[in-house]
Chain A
């Protein structure tokens, strides 16, 4: 009970900072703007294609899926945006505490390191989830205007995929933030790390051998594809959750060990 209270106290403090500074507003603005743009163009393209398909002779073309034309592309684009924005959410979380010396306040208060780590993680994930939700407002428009409402499952799993991917970035970014006092350094390092994890996915190729398959498996985007189609597979969720746990574990170890070495 106290543990939960402590986690929430830290999370609330971080939210206060996010919304007391331009960070939260900039992140929300950029995210919703880009979401809107990607959504609009994907949707326009989809409409154009389906009109053309309808106009085809011999009973029309193949059936077009909103998933393939809209959810998938928007999701992939927003994953790139997450790659850019998440370092900005995590870079100061520990670096700034170290620079300001407030880490000493947290470390000498009767709370556990893991509570601090989780509190900060939840704060960043909370803001990120809010970003995803505000992006989904665009999607809600489809329900209002479409005669045949689309399937909601791929949208839900797609949003979940985006949330899991971002949470991985946040957990790892949190770790990077413990390594330095300089938040800019933390931001740049986190970005490079994410980019590295991203490129692992490029090894995915039907012709790839077992080594490349493994490398591809570790890529953070590889596990999004199925989810974007509305298929929720346990192995994908487990992959993301274990990467998150790994990031949080590293963060905790780093916070603790720095006191031993300090």
Chain B
């Protein structure tokens, strides 16, 4: 549905997007993840034909954004970061105007406006001036505008920014429900959002794609390097020896935790699950096993590791051998 090939956008000397390539299949919800200034908005603006790319191509539903902008625009619904609204218009009038410029014929327009109003749950503010609306409602009016013409593709630039927690959940539900019928690209820097709504994630940093996978895979990829945390009650010395004796353990870092408990962070050989052996070793020495769990890397850790410069030296997921259960 959306094909992006080595897309590059330069502003003077600065390169905002640097050779980005990815594909989005029909009905998929793609999370576009990256810190502020990573080039998310620029990429989205190119996809919506707002900006022309410097190099590379992007096709939406088979139409090139540069050669057939009108065809692309007909098929794309877009909410920029700040929803573009006319404060002096009433919600319904605004949506009617949007319907007009989106080419919805007069007869259908009323029904479509009503439908989008209902989907975005803004029925109760239909006749209010946009300038009087709260941030949450404005965001939803923006969403109603994007889904108004029932476009094949939805491009949402941080659709939950500035909403309260309840509204965020509602918006996510709505986006999820729109997947399937629509192909959606959603940008955000909120990680749980991606984990909850997106089928696939593209992480971009400094204008480049640094990782692309399902959220589950991305977290799993790095699991192998995550340490095990073993919490033991009893003398530290024997516990340490017991754990060290388990084959596959590469390093142990003890940390006192309370008067007679210790937390051991145990590094293991990648790909080797030694949890059962560790438990057996502790228990067989007569020590109390208080807890044992895998400190799996959350998407948050993955993200930080991929997008912060300090972590550049750390193994990137591509370099880590695929290990999973």
| A contact set with B: CB distance below 8 Å | 2, 5-6, 9-10, 12-13, 16-17, 20-21, 100-112, 259-260, 262
Asked if A112 meets B70 with Cβ closer than 8 Å, knowing A9-B101, A16-B93, A20-B88, the reply is yes
Contact A5 B100 (CB under 8 A): yes
A260 to B12, CA, bound (A): 11
Contact A9 B52 (CB under 8 A): no
Contact A109 B49 (CB under 8 A): no
Among candidates A2, A16, A100, A108, residue contacting B87 with C-beta atoms closer than 8 Å: A100
Asked if A260 meets B52 with Cβ closer than 8 Å, knowing A21-B88, A104-B84, the reply is yes
Contact B84 A109 (CB under 8 A): no
B22 at the interface (CB under 8 A from A): no
Contact A108 B78 (CB under 8 A): yes
User: For B93, what are the chain A residues with a Cβ–Cβ distance below 8 Å?
Assistant: 16
- Which residues in window 86-138 of B have CB below 8 A to A? 86-89, 93, 97-98, 100-103
A57 to B126, CA, bound (A): 76
Minimal Cβ-Cβ distance residue in B for A5: B100
| B contact set with A: CB distance below 8 Å | 11, 45, 48-52, 70, 73-74, 76, 78, 80, 82, 84-89, 93, 97-98, 100-103, 145
A102 to B86, CA, bound (A): 7
A169 to B185, CA, bound (A): 44
A108 to B98, CA, bound (A): 11
Contact B50 A110 (CB under 8 A): no
Instruction: List 5 A-B residue pairs with CB atoms under 8 Å apart, sorted by A's residue number.
Output: A6-B100, A17-B86, A100-B87, A106-B101, A109-B101
Contact B73 A100 (CB under 8 A): no
Contact B101 A10 (CB under 8 A): yes
Asked if A110 meets B70 with Cβ closer than 8 Å, knowing A2-B103, A13-B97, A16-B93, the reply is yes
Contact B73 A110 (CB under 8 A): yes
Minimal Cβ-Cβ distance residue in A for B93: A16
